[in-house]
Amino acid sequence: MYLISDNIDTWTGMRLAGIEGVVVHEKQELQQELDKVLADKEIGIVLLTEKFGKEFPDLINDVKLSHKLPLFVEIPDRHGTGRKPDFITSYVNEAIGLKL
């Protein structure tokens, strides 16, 4: 497991849990870290803070869609999630076409 974070607080918390990672802020830095992670066959799960999905959706979606491994998971940072409170229900509604 590996963390790519946009802030020190999330990185510190994950380090305390034993997860290695890095803090990046620019698109070029993110691209370099993604390339590094994709080349490392020991990493099976990559945690990304949600901010990257909002700021660089083209980059994140391209990596998620073009690689089977590692698994990329977007996590909230210390400010909480940017998603709507009912995002899971909305996602299921859109996916299966039923209103729950």
How do residues 28-82 score in pLDDT, each as one tens digit?
A: 999 999 999 999 999 999 999 988 888 898 999 999 889 889 999 988 876 656 6
CATH class in words for 2-96: alpha beta
pLDDT for the residue 35: 95
- Tell me the domain boundaries of the chain: 2-96
- The burial class, CB within 10 Å (0-12 / 13-18 / 19+), for 34 is buried
Peptide bond before residue 70 is cis, with ω within 30 degrees of 0: yes
- The residues, ordered by sequence, that sit 6+ positions from 76 with a Cβ below 8 Å of its Cβ are 49, 50, 82
- Distance, in Å, from the CA atom of 79 to the CA atom of 75, rounded to the nearest integer, reads 11
In angstroms, the CA 100 to CA 87 distance is: 12
